Structure 1
């Protein structure tokens, strides 16, 4: 049997299994709420694992290990920032957003929530927020497609273009069929696979060298600078890496998981499960890149693949260290990471187009069946645009993710966070926050990238300033808006 045959079989079985889940979810999808939000009936375990898997895309198994392999432990500041940001997101946003979206007209999407929260009859908030979602998610989706293409390219020796089509097709199929329920159920399976792969791979890399002290001694002898967490790190560099954590407050594909929880009481347990999973996965990803340094320093003849592309470190270690059958299962974790995040992103884009454009402006009286099928068509449309962007083989997964992550974090993070805790916030304040946050990211990346600071930090800061100043200078919120906020806030405090 050719060494690729076990890999091929495991991948085919995995893809067929996710498609089967899609068909099962199809039978449980009765209306648009089911398709884009699962009918708000996710339990704590599925909420936690789905939030984690949708967050940690292909960058977790490719971008982060690759960055650590290339530069050493100094890149682990990203992981620290993400853990801090995720914990505060669960603590400050998750429960409140679950309640407020229900009280704000049972909002199904973030644009829907903002429109109802601020009584925006002009629908300008809906249009702006939906446009921001489409722009940055299309870039984000392309990062997932690049990661999937790299996986199939490296594993089966396919051309980049062929690998891109195969990876995209595998994800699009079950999102198209099953919607939110399919995405959430598969996320739970994918999250389990990801944590298994990330914990076992660095352990086997260490054992292949000898033991833990031997691995450390190799790195110390050949690349001692990679042990230094402060290597080439000044204050701006550290703050920039920690700044990744700010992005959590504005990621629509994560926030929608909070909205879909069956109740606020689900959130604390989900937070504990999700944070445990996240920390273990990040430790495994950093360890994979770090001990990959030792392994390939000790085995330079095997390092051709990682020398060509540092983001292939996880894939190369897996193919070398494991039996092909086991390697197929472990490499499926990359497919799991890619599919889990890409599927969520496609669904959020589809939701924005269907709920916030099609139904809001074109077909307000459309039937539920029509809306569900419109959502499926929108999945295909966004996928094709993302594929066009991903066709550039020089794209790096981490760079695409960092730009989209910053865009969402700055545009929506301040708006969502402040809208849930400050009843004095106004519609114009929300509009200014989204516009200034998104514009700062684009302009900073275009004109001021040479300053070295991650654009999410000025974007988030300027977004907060825009919200507060515009809200205080303008007309205060209406009495009904304040009453609605107070009712939702009281309900939240009664349930926690």
Structure 2
């Protein structure tokens, strides 16, 4: 009981700090440009850490460590896929998108996707993109709420349903208060906490197994397929496993809650600095979670749910106060993604789907009402349609990447795209993602992660303007 009380007290203080940030940010929010892009004045540290934290979510701390527990060394391909997508985004997409959106005063990713289209073609693109964002983010945010439920259920005697509702209310409150500034600053605090956790917990686990040499020696007792770099697969199947894992990187290019960070950066210098910080963060967190999962295989050999290995090791290796801080890191991962996605989904409802725009005050009110509606929908999905966090996040990630990624690449490359081609590409990318997700899994989920993106890319290329 004492442990539970310490954890609760620590988390209450942590959440109070997040709400205080929301109140501070509310003073800097007077119109939709402030609410959705922070007045385009994002600095390097806030941009970098908030991007990284929003990209990683609960699946990095819980899902990736659990995947390493199940997959062994072959989890490296999952980590490489995620990191390669980040590198392409920061070196190629980011500089171009920042300039493009600043010059055209584009406020949302949907406006960027619509480009110069007018009339009915533009309306069709905006409606399709907005609906894809709303449908996908409801399931994506639901996965974050599930992560919150798992966190509380694994720590003390609280029903997962109650935990889901509690996490949803906290996230909703500070997102409503300060919009983009609140989300970005709180994401920075949360991202730094995640990085510290990704150092402290894996190091403690390594010490517990006897250091790197002890870990290698213990893993050698595992079955040969666990130690394989392809999970025991061979030939074409091995290539599909590797290709499917690396294909996670393609989803990065179409994530609206990440792309808006580039649109909000204040200048090119801030972008270059943010890029270096993001790369360092990814190296720390992804390496740490892979090591944690491998060490967990030795220390928690009988785990019934690999996604709870993080909690088990936290409770076993640390005193209550430190464990509470590490649990706050999990909730940070959850909230840093959910709040960003709520904000983008709200922009789709309140800005993109409202052609008249209206007065600033009314627009902000619509944005905040949209957040409430999306939170309610995500809570219902989390409570009544439960699924593994890793699976649900990757579906949403792949669907957004396939729907928007090809158009993002071609538009930033200067290719003239027909509105009909843009619309067809988005619908095909999303539709095939859903179809392949519902079909039986191919080795490494290669079809689900690669085919929709390249089908959508081919459609967009075929429909480009010529001459």
Bin for the TM-score computed over the shorter chain = over 0.9
Cα distance per residue 1:258-297 (max 9 Å; x no partner): 1000023321211111011012110011111011112224
**CA RMSD of the aligned region, Å?**
1.6
Secondary structure at the aligned position of 2:358 is classed as coil
TM superposition shift of 1:168: 1.3
Partner of 1:240: 244
- After superposition, residues 88-167 of structure 1 pair within 5 angstroms as 88-104=88-104, 106-119=105-118, 122=121, 123-167=123-167
Counterpart residue number, 1:53: 53
Tell me if the contact between 1:23 and 1:177 (Cα under 8 Å) persists in the aligned partners.
yes
Contact 1:409–1:456, Cα closer than 8 Å, also in 2:
no
Matched, 1:267 2:253: no
Report the counterpart of residue 376 of structure 2 in structure 1: 384
Q: For each residue in 1:41-72, what CA deviation from the matched residue of structure 2 results, as whole angstroms up to 9, or x when unmatched?
A: 00111111111011010001111101111221
The equivalent residue for 2:432 is: 440
The count of corresponding residues between Structure 1 and Structure 2 is 461
Q: Which residues of 2 match residues 28-43 of structure 1 at below 5 A?
A: 28-43=28-43
Q: 1:369 aligns with which of 350, 361, 364?
A: 361
Aligned to 1:493: none
Q: Which moved more, 1:397-406 or 1:4-13?
A: 4-13
Aligned ranges for residues 406-445 of structure 1 at < 5 Å? Answer: 406-445=398-437
- Partners of 2:74 and 2:81 lie apart in 1 by 13
3-state SS in 1 of match to 2:463: helix
Which shifted more, 108-117 or 218-227? Answer: 218-227
Scaled by the length of structure 1, the TM-score of the pair is 0.90
Q: Tell me how far 1:7 sits from its aligned partner.
A: 0.9
Match of residue 198 from structure 1: 198
Stretches of structure 1 lacking an aligned partner (at least 5 in a row): 298-302, 477-496
1:123-174 deviation per Cα after TM superposition (whole angstroms, max 9, x unaligned): 1111111111111111111111111111111112211111111111121111
| Separation in structure 1 between the aligned mates of residue 286 and residue 117 of structure 2, nearest angstrom | 38
Distance between the aligned counterparts of 1:2 and 1:27, measured in 2?
39
> Deviation string for 1:52-106 (max 9, x for gaps)?
01101000111110111122121221101111111011111111111111223x1
Aligned to 2:256: 252
For the Cα contact (< 8 Å) 2:425–2:459, is it kept in 1?
Answer: yes
Residue in structure 1 matched with residue 332 of structure 2 by the alignment: 336
Corresponding position: 1:466 with 2:459: yes
What does residue 304 of structure 2 align with?
308
**Deviations, residues 287-319 of structure 1 (Å, cap 9, x unaligned):** 11011112224xxxxx5xxx2311001111011
What is the TM-score of this pair, normalised by structure 2? 0.95
Gaps of 5+ in 2: none
Q: What is the CA deviation profile of residues 417-472 of structure 1, one whole-angstrom value per residue up to 9, with x for unaligned ones?
A: 11010332222221121111111111222246457424131111011110011125
TM-superposed CA distance for 1:6, in Å, is 1.2
| 1-structure distance, mates of 2:10, 2:205 | 22
| C-alpha displacement of 1:394 | 4.3
Which residue of structure 2 lines up, in the alignment, with residue 9 of structure 1? 9
Deviates more, 1:377-386 or 1:437-446: 437-446
Kindly state the Cα deviation for residue 387 of structure 1 after the two structures are TM-superposed.
Answer: 0.8
